[in-house]
């Protein structure tokens, strides 16, 4: 089982180990049944299945089962013969990384009845802050305020992120054929907006000369959170979701350049 040590980070996750155990015990299982057994959202289950793709196979009925490598892995899990690297506790860097991506929070967003109000609250908070700071929100960017009213500024911030949600839904369906989990994705995107929702309040206390650097840090953090949102909301692997996030900020930048907002 020397190959297993290469997946020590992957297999530390208890949900992925649980999936291997379920498939090892039941042989085959459909997506809906697996989702109900795990008690997780559509996107979260897709994400874990994608991460375990090297160990799984699907039949014509699209039921999941373990391939040869998966069965070997299951045998090792059952016998408790995993390499020491898989039995260790989490490294500090791993724990920090989880919270940097809000992973423990995103993992619970399938409970949309709880997280939908939180996501909407974050968007309203961001709009309220932009109105107080007298800046116009432009998704990942801000511009000095103009004639927009207090209410219009709040509406602009909220509509920017709703537009991002709709655009993401379209892109994810076109390129990844992932459907379902819409409300979980919206909750995740709302949580991902937190750094940029907080930023206007910081402008009230940080010197103007430092604001561009603070904004840059918050933009990077938002890209990471948005990538995690795509992963947990629609089950896209993080390496692919980061590309999608970078595409979003690239398009945001190009549109603002064409509109002359950076001149």
Higher pLDDT, 27 or 156: 156
Length of the chain: 263
Check residue 86 and give its pLDDT: 43
Compute the CA torsion angle 189, 146, 256, 124 (nearest 10 deg): 0
* Mean pLDDT score of the chain: 85
DSSP 77-143: HHHT---HHHHSPPPHHHHHHHHHTTHHHHTTTT-HHHHHHHHHHHHHHHHHHHHHHTEEEETTEEE
Higher pLDDT, 226 or 17: 226
Structure confidence at residue 124 as a pLDDT band (50, 70, 90): very high
Where in the chain do CATH 1.10.10.10 domains reside?
2-89
Tens of pLDDT, residues 221-245:
999 999 999 988 888 888 889 999 9
Check residue 72 and give its pLDDT: 82
DSSP structural state of residue 56: E
Q: What sign does the dihedral 96-98-99-101 (CA atoms) show?
A: positive
Structure confidence at residue 90 as a pLDDT band (50, 70, 90): very low
CATH architecture of 2-89: Orthogonal Bundle (1.10)
Tens of pLDDT, residues 194-217:
999 999 999 999 887 888 999 999
Structure confidence at residue 46 as a pLDDT band (50, 70, 90): confident
Comparing C-alpha atoms, which of 43, 34, 31 is closest to residue 173? 43
Check residue 81 and give its pLDDT: 59
User: What's the pTM value of the predicted model, to 2 decimals?
Assistant: 0.78
pLDDT at 7 over 80: no
């Amino acid at each position: 089982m020397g190959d297993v040590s290469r997946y020590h980070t992957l297999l530390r996750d208890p949900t992925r180990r649980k999936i291997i155990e379920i498939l090892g015990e039941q042989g085959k299982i459909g997506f809906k049944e697996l989702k109900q057994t795990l008690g997780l959202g559509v996107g979260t289950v897709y994400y874990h299945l994608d991460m375990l793709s090297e160990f799984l196979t699907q039949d014509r009925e699209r039921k999941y089962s373990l391939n040869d490598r998966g069965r070997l892995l299951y045998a090792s899990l059952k016998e408790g013969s995993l390499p020491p690297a898989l039995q260790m506790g989490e490294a500090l860097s791993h724990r920090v990384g989880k919270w940097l991506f809000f992973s423990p929070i995103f993992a619970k967003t399938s409970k949309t009845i709880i997280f939908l109000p939180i996501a909407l609250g974050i968007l309203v908070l961001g709009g309220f802050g932009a109105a107080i700071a007298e800046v116009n929100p432009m998704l990942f960017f801000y511009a000095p305020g103009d004639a927009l009213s207090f209410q219009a500024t709040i509406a602009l911030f909220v509509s920017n992120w709703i537009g991002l949600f709709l655009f993401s839904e379209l892109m994810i369906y076109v390129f990844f054929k992932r459907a379902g989990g819409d409300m979980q994705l919206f909750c995740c995107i709302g949580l991902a907006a937190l750094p940029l929702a907080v930023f206007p309040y910081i402008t009230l206390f940080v010197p103007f000369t430092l604001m561009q650097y603070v904004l840059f840090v918050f933009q990077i953090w938002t890209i990471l959170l948005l990538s995690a949102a795509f992963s947990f909301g629609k089950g896209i692997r993080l390496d692919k979701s980061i590309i999608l996030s970078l595409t979003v900020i690239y398009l945001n930048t190009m549109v603002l350049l064409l509109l002359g907002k950076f001149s």
